[in-house]
Structure 1
Amino acid sequence: MTVITPRLTVSGGKDARDFSPRTLGAEVVERGNGADGRISHAMVDVGGANPFLSREYSL
């Protein structure tokens, strides 16, 4: 079985992570912080689907 996992890149990772549970009924499954303490990525559960959220990085 092939699974496609969406990855959403957002600015303001904490805002997006807080937005998901309120609007989508999502639950945060996993979260990783960068060296600066800001969220670098998070995986949420939305009705059995597990999209990833990651913050945008400037090069």
Structure 2
Amino acid sequence: MIERRKSIVPDKITMINLVWTTMIAAMLTATVTLYQEQSQMSDFNYPQMTGRYNDLSYY
């Protein structure tokens, strides 16, 4: 029977999953932090900027 040795270094799939999970957690934390800062800025009551889009035909 072939015996499989335990490796100290995690395999490639485990490392990819760990990096992916860390990136998602960091982005979620950054998003929540930015939205909390934005809600505190709404106390100043700045006027909302609006824009218009005109679809012009070139033919």
Q: Same fold (TM over 0.5)?
A: no
Structure having the higher Rg: 2
TM-score by length of 2: 0.24
Q: Which of the pair is proportionally richer in strand? A: 1
